[in-house]
Amino acid sequence: MGLCEQSRCWRCQGGAGAFRAAVGVLLLGFSLAQSTVPQPQCPKGVAPHSLNQPHYLNNSAVDTGVGFMKDIVQSFLHTVQPNPFPQDLLLTFVKDFNQAQSDQNIIKEALQYEVGFLVCAAIGIIYIVLMPLVGFFLACCRCCGNCGGKMHQEQTSGMHCRRRALYWSTFITTLIILAGNICMFKSNEALKVSVDKSAEDLNITIDNLHIFLGAVPQQFDRVVNESYKTVHEVSENLNGEFWEVYRYLTLMLVLLCVCTETISTSNQLRELNSSLARLQSSVNLLQANVSDVKNRINRTSLNPNCINCGSLQPELQKLTLDTTITTSSLTELQSGVDEVIKADLKSQIRKVEDYFSSIPQRVTNDTKDVVQSTKQQLEEIKTQISQVKNDIPLSALSNVSDRLDQLQREIGTVTPTVDTAEYIRWTVCVALCCVVLLVVVCNILGLLLGPLGLKPKADPADRSCTANCGGTFLMMGAGFSFLFGWLFMIVVLLLFLLGGNVYTLVCQPWDNGELLKFIDTEGVIPGFQLGPMLGLKSNLTLTDIYSDCEKNRPLWSTLRLYELVDLEDLLNVSKYTEDIQQHFENTDITLSTITFLSPDVQNQLSSFSAKADGADFTGVTQQVINNISSINLNTTADKLEELATVQTNDGIKAELRAEARDLRQIQTNIEITIIPQLVSSSAIVCLGLGTVGEVLSNVGAAQDFLNTNTTQIVKSESREFLDCQMGYFTAFADWANGTITQQIGRCGPVSGAVDSAEIIICSHMVESLNAFWFSLGWCLIFFIPSIIFSIKLAKYYRRMDSSDVYDNHIIMNHIPRAQMKPY
């Protein structure tokens, strides 16, 4: 019985405690909602993406193959022209060319600057004049038998040494000329490759500039489009629900618990009535069984043959089970529950839900003016951001692009003509190279055939045809040198003056930046003022632009666009947000009050709570517990067993033991059937109905709080929402500022185009051209010793008309025989 009591109490406390805990948590949450107003988390807006820089074409540099001569040629030109870049002198000629031509001082200064080229030109002119004259006079002298023209060779002891010295001198000179000739072929081919590739390289460079110029407006459009997205997003948010409230969910849960608990109480009361009815039926059956056994024991005890059976009379008085269960209080409570159910708390919940659902529309109506004003401000912000693009002179980029298109068309037009002219130039230069090679071949054949056919002890008049051919080839090489050397020197002189001055006046200052500084000088390009052309307050030079573009800086800093556009002011959204927030603060947001529970519903709930508090559920079951617990049939059965052991009559003994067994069976039924039903009924009786009053109290507190603070809560929520939307613009303004000032128009392709042009013109064409005339001049200079050595060496291989006889250091002269003249 003690265990039953503990189980019953535990179940009672557990059921009511669980419900109280659940409601307590809800009420605690609601009390926290009353004390603090949590700020809703601002949803993250659409983050603008970083700008993607355009992809440019790869302008691969072509190896011209004359790099090994670059240092030699430049060293020669630096020796010829050691003076610095004549900026002032060139500026004088550019400003007034006619006056500069008539000014003797300027002419003198120009000649002093070009003195190195003039000296070289004078040497070239002397070469051009003397080479054909010397060749002519030498030919005349040889025809007259002078200058080695007499086909007679004296035989001396040092003749072979002189021949060997002349041979090796001619051989070395020929190798030097051959090396120069190889450089001629190579530089000529390199110049052809440079010219052929120049059109493609220029087109790639122009295409990269087109990509750059086209990307800049697109990047500005991207920034403007991102502003449109931000404006659209905020406008859409303003068109939607203007606020979000989460506090009312707690109240909804509390009301739902009231409704659920009421329905649960009704079900439990019905179950309790049914359980008590089943318990009453079991008790009635027990009463009948106990009365039957009691009557049998009474008859046995009255039998005269029963020994000491009179002692059973007191026990028989205890064998009674008269228990009646009354449920009048339960019936009254059931009627109270039914009245609460009829109140339809679910409709009250829907009413509260509708109230909270209507708040956004009410707020929207009250804030209609501020929303409209905000949208107007957003449109103004969008206009201001669009104005950034209009204030920047992007039309100049379009003009440059048009000129590049025109230049590209002109390149396509002149390319066939240039190819034709280049082919003619290449052919002529190949012819020049072949003529020089002819001189080399003649010398080489002479150097090969001469020694092969030469017999040192042979008479010079009897030399072989092979040796004679070797000498003839040497003379041919000298003759070709005289014939073409002066003509080729004219070519060298013209190309030297052209290529040398282009290098010293264009390529060298281009490489070290002096050329750009010269172009930046006022007056070089009439009317060219880049700063005023762009509307800048300060002067902007090409040198500054190239320097910034070389570092791949954006156009904002390169072109100093900050002088044209006050970006900080245009993207200062705070001046708009302050107006919007002030307008919002002046907006009156009023909300009507709501009655969560009508007075009738509150009265019904109060009545139900009072009936639940006054219901004595313990008394309903205590009467059964007292009656059942007062009966212990096992004790009476034990006494019947003891009395049966002293009986001598077997019949009486059997009756007593049968009656004891029946009592024990009844006791077992009590424990198996009655007590479990009693425990079940006790658990059902333990209803947690005391919380209904607590819920009513907290619902009242909640209604008082919302009636007082709902408007403030909604306004706080709305302000937070508005600040969130304005935060989008602040983030966008920061992004737009950083993008415009740091990413738009990275002008590395501009400096790349300048560098590409310098590589095409100077590093390829001019270097190849200079290498060609330098190689040709190199060959022509060594034509002079080649002529001298070849003519002198040829006499040692050619067949002489007469010769001396040299024997033991005695020269034997041929004495002609006397002949008789006929008379």
pLDDT of 215 reads 86
Contact in structure between 359 and 245 (CB atoms under 8 Å): yes
pLDDT of 27 reads 43
Answer positive or negative: Cα dihedral of 426, 432, 438, 444.
Answer: negative
Phi, psi angles (nearest 5°) of residue 802: -145, 165
Question: Which tens digit of pLDDT belongs to each residue from 65-81?
Answer: 567 788 899 999 999 99
Length of the chain: 823
pLDDT of 523 reads 74
Nearest C-alpha neighbor of 686 from the set 279, 268, 340: 268
Question: Which tens digit of pLDDT belongs to each residue from 132-150?
Answer: 999 888 888 877 877 766 6
The mean predicted confidence, pLDDT, of the chain is 75
Q: Is 523 left (phi over 0), alpha (psi -120 to 50) or beta?
A: left
Phi, psi angles (nearest 5°) of residue 803: -155, 160
CA-to-CA distance for 32 and 18, rounded, in angstroms?
A: 21
Q: How many CA atoms lie within 13 A of 13 on its CB side?
A: 6
What 281-285 contacts at long range (C-beta under 8 Å, 24+ apart), as own/partner pairs, is 282/673, 282/674, 282/677, 283/321, 283/323, 283/325, 283/624, 283/627, 283/674
CA-to-CA distance for 134 and 327, rounded, in angstroms?
A: 155
CA-to-CA distance for 770 and 503, rounded, in angstroms?
A: 9
Nearest C-alpha neighbor of 745 from the set 50, 54, 33: 54
CA-to-CA distance for 657 and 422, rounded, in angstroms?
A: 143
pLDDT of 589 reads 62
Q: Which residues of the chain have pLDDT under 50?
A: 1-40, 241-249, 686-688, 690, 807-815, 818, 820-823
Nearest C-alpha neighbor of 289 from the set 571, 633, 17: 633
Q: Residue 372 corresponds to which tokens in the numbers above?
A: 């409209």
Answer positive or negative: Cα dihedral of 211, 214, 219, 225.
Answer: negative
Residue type, 490: I
CA-to-CA distance for 729 and 719, rounded, in angstroms?
A: 16
For the whole model, what pTM was predicted?
0.65
Contact in structure between 184 and 66 (CB atoms under 8 Å): no
Contact in structure between 219 and 744 (CB atoms under 8 Å): yes
pLDDT of 1 reads 41
